[in-house]
Chains A and B, each alone.
Chain A
Amino acid sequence: MWKKQSLTILLLFGLMLARVGAQDDNQHESNSNSHEEDKVFNPGTFILDHVMDSYDWHILTVGDTHISIPLPVILISKSKGFHIFLSSRFHHGHSAYKGFMIAQDGPNEGSIVEVDEHGHVDENAKLPLDFSITKTVFAMLISFLLMIWIFLSVAKRYKKNPNRPPKGIQALMEPIILFVRDDIAIPSIGEKRYERFMPYLLTVFFFIILNNYLGVIPFPPGGANVTGNIAVTAVLALLTFIITTFSTNKGYWKHIFNAPGVPWWLKFPVPLMPFIELLGVFTKPLVLCIRLFANILAGHFIILSFVALIFIFGQIHWIAGYGVSFISVLFYVFMTLLEFLVAFIQAYVFTLLSALYFGMAKEEAH
């Protein structure tokens, strides 16, 4: 059943890639003649600017003034050495600083490139190693701090009042913790072994759900697209993969390379089944990564599209803009509520599948 679903998701993902590509084309066009039509609203750029990572945390633009939180840029360059400075030095990408600037076009658009003394992009120089605290990283760190603060205070309550009914934030978190334990971990992994995996499952579940919720809130500390960033979901999926692989037993590998109950001609001379099963080992985490990323990103796309509609119609006529804004806001509210649901479901699905993989890693011999 999961394979079928993952196939559907891959297909959807493919479609989405095509769409993003198209939007990129639009962007290039609009960039080339952006000086003449600076004021023309481009929904593609608008949406991508909101879901993509950036070096500063943009909050508001009033007229030509951008209000944003500057974030630290950390660069290691072969020719220029180690640098750390605030992204406000770039003036939102308009100027270079210490021989670095954010590329406005070309193949490295959006990344930091090295420039020569005349302010021209150095085409020959390699890109500097970029360990900047970007918007995504910053939001992620905030969510981690939030988690530490929440759960250490919850833990303190458990230590201070043992055997008492939960109170305050403890009462809020306890049902969710019990949900992860009783409805995710125990049924998937089993009563005997689930405890080893609980810290990881709880951390992942709360990280995903917290960032999903923060992602729907349209202002800092929310609004960043953490769980819709493929690097973040890739790390989560990779961790699940590593933990799964390190808790395997003989039965698991036997099931992959010599699956019981499969006709011999599917294994020899062409090892079709072992190949497919081995592929499954890697597609499982890949699908985990893409499912979460694509779901959250798609949700953000839709919400931003409804907002973009207002500006598109507003450009045609201001009355149209106001008229559409009414409908758009309704849809926006609806989608936001739907996203709250999706936020929970995606956290649940990721944690449940991780738990299932952990459970499968110790296959009982048939």
Chain B
Amino acid sequence: MGLISPDYGTIFWMVLAFGIVFLILKKFGWKPIMEGLKAREKSIEDALLSAEQAREEMTALQADHERIMQDARTERDSLLSEARVMRDEIIETARTEAIKEGEKLIEHARKQIENEKANAIGEIKEQISKLSVDIAEKILRVELSDAVKQKALNDDILKDLKLN
């Protein structure tokens, strides 16, 4: 048993034991350990990847959401401005309508006034002519009661007739 000369007995047991332990550990130790490590690393990587993917999806969704909101806002704005324009138009047309109608009414009123006036004047004329006839009758009666005067009147009328 030297310090630096390898002992064949030790070599024999070492080779035997190392071989057996190596085979046992290779099959039942290292294999499941390495596979377990690999599987866990893979699952962690997958989880990280899927988390990353979910985050990206979230961002995409958020962007989508933002876009939709933006669209809605612009649509609302356009609707509002359209409505404003429409309102202005309606007011404008209403005003012109009203003015036109008013003018018509005024015209109508004027015509009516005109008519009424004409009527009134006609009536007044009739009244006047009636009155003047009445007056002339009364005057005639007075005149005709006197012969001289009757004669004078006749003459006068005749004279006028001739003139006409």
Chain A residues in contact with chain B, CB under 8 A?
Answer: 17, 20, 48, 51-54, 110-111, 130-134, 136-137, 140-141, 144, 147-148, 151-152, 154-156, 158-159, 162-164, 174, 177-178, 181, 195, 198-200, 202-203, 207, 229-232, 234-236, 239, 297
Contacts and interface: CB of A to CB of B under 8 A. Distances in A.
B32 A110 contact: no
A199 B9 contact: no
Contacts of B33: 151, 154-155, 158, 177
Given A144-B17, A162-B40, A155 B11 contact: no
A177 B37 contact: yes
Interface stretch (B19-27, B91-99, B119-127, B136-144): B19-27
Contact of B37 (A52, A131, A158, A159): A158
Q: Size band of the B side of the interface?
A: 35 or more
A195 B3 contact: no
Contacts of B105: none
Given A162-B36, A198-B30, A110 B10 contact: no
A202 B36 contact: no
Given A52-B1, A110-B1, A231 B25 contact: no
A54 B31 CA distance: 36
Given A48-B3, A134-B9, A230-B5, A140 B14 contact: yes
Interface of B: 1-15, 17-18, 20-22, 24-26, 28-37, 39-40, 43
A134 B10 contact: yes
A43 B35 CA distance: 51
A48 B40 CA distance: 49
B9 A235 contact: no
A203 B3 contact: no
A331 B17 CA distance: 36
A296 B20 CA distance: 25
Contacts of B34: 177, 181, 195, 198
B25 A199 contact: yes
Nearest to A74: B9
B3 A20 contact: yes
Sorted from nearest, which 6 A-B pairs have the closest CB atoms?
A: A158-B36, A231-B10, A151-B29, A231-B6, A199-B26, A155-B32
A32 B11 CA distance: 32
Given A144-B21, A231-B6, 11 more contacts: A48-B3, A52-B1, A53-B1, A130-B9, A136-B10, A148-B24, A158-B36, A195-B34, A198-B34, A235-B14, A236-B18
